[in-house]
Structure 1
Amino acid sequence: MSAYLLRSVRGTPYWMAPEVISDSGYGRKSDIWSVGCTVFEMATGKPPLASMHRVAAMFYIGAHRGLMPALPARFSSAAAEFVHAYQHERPSALQLLDHPFVKGGQ
């Protein structure tokens, strides 16, 4: 199923993956991006780029292709690495379930 890429823009700007914003086709990796944004929001109380207007956040995400804020230093290295992974590596859901942040509860 990973060969199927959808091409309609759907989602809420703060949680939209760069490929969704650029309308270049998206799939499961886009959902991984959104999971990472949700973890960021759960940790900080706000989604990444919450200080920006929604449209500005969309332009930023589209232009910077994954350059998003890191978790503040007060969070564990496992949590910070988990959030970093969604932005850069986009591991599968199975790989994320095996991540130390999920397995260790840190």
Structure 2
Amino acid sequence: MFRQDGNIKLIDFGTATRVDNCRRSTVGTPWYCAPEVINSEEYGNRCDIWSLGCFSIELVSGKPPFDELNDIACLFKMAEGKPPLPNDVTPLCKSFLSDCLILNWKNRPTSSKLLGHPFLKMEEAQEEVARKQLMEGTQRIALEKAHLDKIKNSASIKIKL
């Protein structure tokens, strides 16, 4: 959720679960699901870092990676890894997204390490530009009914609109 003051509140659609140890079950929305989850490989908390990267792509571009694909085609693309990065973002933003989307989950940064990324440590002026970019992307999301319908009809979640 994007608040009017520019702050972001992450919300859950009911698929969240506590992951203390490595898991192998597959759960999630295709556009945010890490390759190791899709491929039923062992995974840990860093699959959430991948999801954060995908969600961040949506925040800055107005659409998730592989938005043009249906659920199944998206799963195949995500299983291969490396969703395309938006072209119209700063180098720091691209660096942040690239770190989130490292294919081998064991090489992805932890959430603690990611909090130290320069993109998240920007000066106030740069922060305002990034916030504006996020708000513009979020406004595009709100206007895209087709995107909401795609998520609503996804096999992994059901939303009543």
Same fold (TM over 0.5): yes
Aligned equivalents of 2:76 and 2:58: distance in 1? Answer: 20
The SS at the match of 1:5 is coil
Where do 5+ consecutive residues of structure 2 fail to align? 1-18, 131-161
**Which residue in the other structure is 2:31 paired with?**
14
- In the alignment, is residue 44 of structure 1 matched against residue 61 of structure 2? yes
Task: Specify the structure having the higher radius of gyration (Cα).
Answer: 2
Superimposed CA distance per residue, residues 26-82 of structure 1 (whole angstroms, 9 cap, x where no aligned partner):
2111010001111111001111111111110101121x2x2210121x211100110
The SS at the match of 1:28 is coil
Q: CA RMSD in A?
A: 1.6
2:77 aligns with one of 49, 54, 60: 60
**Which residue in the other structure is 2:100 paired with?**
86
Checking the alignment, whether the CA contact within 8 Å between 1:6 and 1:25 is kept in structure 2 is yes
Aligned equivalents of 1:42 and 1:70: distance in 2? Answer: 12
Give the superposition deviation at 1:3. Answer: 7.6
Where do 5+ consecutive residues of structure 1 fail to align? none
Give the superposition deviation at 1:8. Answer: 1.3
Identical amino acids, percent of aligned pairs: 35
**Which residue in the other structure is 1:99 paired with?**
117
The SS at the match of 2:101 is helix
Number of residues of Structure 1 aligned to a counterpart in Structure 2: 102
**TM-score, normalised by the number of residues in structure 2:** 0.59
Q: Structure 1 counterpart of 2:29, which letter?
A: T
Give the superposition deviation at 1:25. Answer: 2.1
**Which residue in the other structure is 2:7 paired with?**
none
Aligned equivalents of 2:44 and 2:86: distance in 1? Answer: 25
